[in-house]
Amino acid sequence: MKLPKLTIVVPCYNEEEVFQRTYQELKRMLFSLMDDGYIDISSRILFVDDGSTDSTWTLIERAYRENLNVNGLKLSRNFGHQRALLAGLEEAAKYSDCVISIDADLQDDVGAIREFVMKFLEGYDIVYGVRKDRSVDRFFKRKTAEMFYKIMEKLGLPLVFNHADYRLLSKRALNAMLQYKEANLFLRGIIPVLGFKTTKVFYDRKARAAGESKYPLRKMVSLALNGITSFSIRPIRFITLTGFLAFLVSIGASIYVLIQKLSSDPVSGWASIMISLWFIGGLLLMSLGLIGEYIGKIYEEVKMRPRYIVEENLKHYQPKERILKRRVKQ
């Protein structure tokens, strides 16, 4: 039986504090799966440096030199987590039978990788890593995340609850995903619409091993807005519905104004008029902003600019015999 070639894709941005620990844990898991005969010995870890300003790339180069099962990809600048992940997936698709994506902060349980591989060997094309709970998150983040998933569900987006970007993709699922060429990436929304045979692996999420979160509130809001506007036109329809409701309210307001006019008491209606003006003005500005968000996405798509630029690609072209000899020495 031919063993599958696995690539673990790890996007990195300023991860010097946690890199060595992440590398060691992933290496142990990779070698353990090789020793147990579940994956090919030419399987590898692919670190993607998303324009780090610290020594992350230097650490990736060092790992590449000492380990034939490590590759490195350096982007020319910071393109964002989703595009860095895409860069790694596109590179891994060239030589992998299955790919696992995981963040470098070690919050996702590395031990679940073994379960991912087992599910793949059972015939699953997509394996989602799903958090059992959000007990390690702060109250605000936990509640906003729950609200995000509920909103996306209401908008008709088939997101996997409590799943981020920790997943396994088979080669055919990965190739299908890479057919999506939009500039505005939201991989959590693309993967569920691919189809194929899917399953879930549940795990306990840990606290960040070191360093600071690379997803502050601003980026979380941006990701949520990008997901909503990339996969649904319901917000536009919501504007239409709101406009219709405002029209009904205006009929009621017209009746009220008419009564006030007949009663010769125009001063008492001043507050209602001002409130209506502010309400309508705010509604119009919000509507224009939402429409502008969609137009902006169209603008970005039609320019067809590259989604990322690779500055350096460290790739081993080593026969299996040499990998075996190096591992014996290690």
Q: What is the pLDDT of residue 187?
A: 80
Q: What is the pLDDT of residue 123?
A: 92
Bigger pLDDT: 137 vs 74: 74
The string of pLDDT tens digits covering residues 290-330 is 777 677 777 666 777 788 899 999 987 655 555 555 554 45
How far is the C-alpha of 49 from the C-alpha of 56, rounded, in Å?
A: 7
pLDDT at 73 over 80: yes
pLDDT band at residue 206 using 50, 70 and 90 as cut-offs: confident
Q: What is the pLDDT of residue 43?
A: 92
Provide the whole-model pTM: 0.72
The string of pLDDT tens digits covering residues 12-59 is 999 999 999 999 999 999 999 999 999 999 899 999 999 999 999 999
pLDDT band at residue 168 using 50, 70 and 90 as cut-offs: very high
